[in-house]
Structure 1
Amino acid sequence: MKVISIFFLLLHFGIIAADNAEGAYVSFKNYGRDVALFTSETANIYTSNIGQEFYLNHKIIIQVEKGYKDKFTHLTGVFQTQLLSELSNSDIVLISPKKGQFLTVYKRLENISSVEAVQPDYAIVKKHHRTSKARKGVNIHFKPPNRLQNSQCEVSISPTRIAIIDDGFDFSSTALSPFNVLLEYDADRQEVMIADTTRVAGHGTMVASVIASQLNSKPISKMSHVAEVVAIQQASTLNSAMILAFSVAQKMNADIVNSSWTLPFVSQLLASVIDDGLLHGDVSFVIVSAGNHAQDACISNKLSVIEGVTTIGALSKDGSIAPFSNYGNCVDYYAPSTALLQKQNKRIAVSGTSSAAAMATGEFSYLLSCGLSNNDIEIKNNKLK
């Protein structure tokens, strides 16, 4: 189990008092803690009692008991409903109120007994992701990094299925030809991406390339494809889009889900979807990057706090923790931060916890294709409990 400081636990679950929520535009509970949002001078941007700024699209996400998801279509003030995720014991539904009815519908939903949780749909305005800076100070104590082991097996049974949640996919590169791309889906637009659409190679392409490079370094013989890929475009970090992205990955029976987002705040609803896929679905690993902020991952990237998520930090060439890498008890493994990729006639170096997490994704995919279980892989890599 990931160890978190007593203070963080108390703060996270609301035992330490938060700022007064009086005068809030809207408030919600997250892991029992009251999160209050206050209007600002900028339209649709709200300050909060937890030090984060939120963008609201004035839609509502609810977690509802099984059998009740269709009961909200005709609720007064509701324009549209959409099922985002089917969990084993409940459903996550997106509610779109009619114009000017957001607060009225929100209060109605809070008073319905079958509704287990209500939150506004939001995105964190001041996101902290994929920015590198050196760690400040020299007095930080690190436990010995749990390094990812590079393994080989005698026989590869079948390719695994990898879902990559990111932005900027372009699979036209020959370096990605070993992948069998099953689906390209845009979780922000909620539509399948057409194959002949003009693509911009971005961060998602880099992640996919590192995964492919790691798999291509293995003796995977007599397999036409090294892995099956589900590419899920998700650039907005809207909570509803992130929930939908993980839900699509699970519906596509992904063995591994890779995400490079580093989030300073995570909804319990998103965490429920991730947790349900690991416990009751076919997902063996959800692999996230620790983040490039030279901070404690438990605080800087709340995805790392979710039980069952595998968080990857970065190593320097000398085997020490990279100066930019997030660290701490929420980091499960550390992998090399730098990967060399072929681009046209050049070899380019990419570096960061995203590339380290991609390398780990390729390694775990390979081991799953060898017939190892997720428990076998964790034991093989001496995962620190």
Structure 2
Amino acid sequence: MKKINLLLFSVFLLSFQICFSQGSPDYNGGFKVKFNEDGSKYLRVISWGQFQATYNDDVPDTESSTSFNVRRARVLLLSQINKKFLLVTHFGLNSLNASNLSPVGKSDSNHLFLHSIWGQWNLNDNHTVGGGLHYWNGISRLNNQSTLNLMTLDNNRQSWSTLGLSDQFGRHIGVFMKGKFNKFKYQVAINDASTNGLDLRDPELGGAAVYGGKRVLGSKDAGHSFAGYFEYNFLDQESNTLPYKVGTYLGTKKVFNIGAGFFSHPSGSVSANTSGDLVAEDVSIIAVDAFYDAPLGEDGSAITAYATYQSNDYGKNYLYSAYGTGSMLYTHVGYVIAGDTKKTRFQPYVSYGSNSYDAVDDNRNVFGLGTNMFMSGHNSKLTLEYKNQKFGSNTTGTVTLQAMIYL
């Protein structure tokens, strides 16, 4: 049966190569409605879809090893009628599959939800303030990653370090300020922490911390979180008009950045001592990282490299899903093979992450090996990736093919 599924997976790969081999027309900025002649007043619409087929070698005997998934379906709107302010609206859904489909499309999984809605006001050419449900996160580049131009199949899961714990899918409600001083860029935010996070556990006597400080203790002491990310751009300057960090430029820029960031949620976690008294514990995450992307010559070849070290403190012996008190080391490297930049291009890559947790002796080690096939840059591409994850006695291997169109 597994051989049959592998054959079907191969046929699926071939069919996508045939269907999308022609690529899409030149992007030219996408769909933009201009309200004046010079285009300074506009509404820009960006949409993208990511469609996956996955082979998993660790499923029950009664389950199929091959599954299909709409990984992301999103729409992003940028609205500007004056150079002094900008409105960003982002909605969509994630990970729609056979297990969470609804017969009549009414389940939570089928609903489009608001990822972001924020306004930002330019104080001058270099500094901006704003507020709303926003994505101006702290910690690291990967915690501010765009899903439009990832180099790997997906973001390193442990780098979205507060997703669902203190925010709504990586976005907080709050206020932010961002800007630059020459080559130095910054972004800082003060946010309301979510009351209804993923971690709904109650503290146990003498047990580990749970991320439920605001829910259990109230909002007076545990209501707010603070975040920031700071980077220095040594070579070409990256845009910071929007928070979305580019995964790979495919050699169109020469970028070398170093960065550092933090996330702090006072009393964000709570534990219970042996007497039954509740003890508030501060959540503190800090990271340093480096990003390099550059062409390697005139032949179209290019390299992308990234590395980060992150220290996570969610409270005493905290461990929940992908999150845990401890440390993380993550890196990835990709190489764009030389060729005509106007034709199909390939980018093999490798990634590795190691996560240690105070609560257990075992590390979570994740290895990825894949390749991107760009038919029209990031606007039309295929990604094929093998991922192996080992944590304790559990080892899982998956092969995933993803087709993406972004307009």
Question: Quick one: higher RCO (CA 8 Å, sep 6+), 1 or 2?
Answer: 1
Q: Who wins on radius of gyration, i.e. which is larger?
A: 2
TM-score, L = length of structure 2: 0.20
TM-score by length of 1: 0.21
Higher strand share: 2
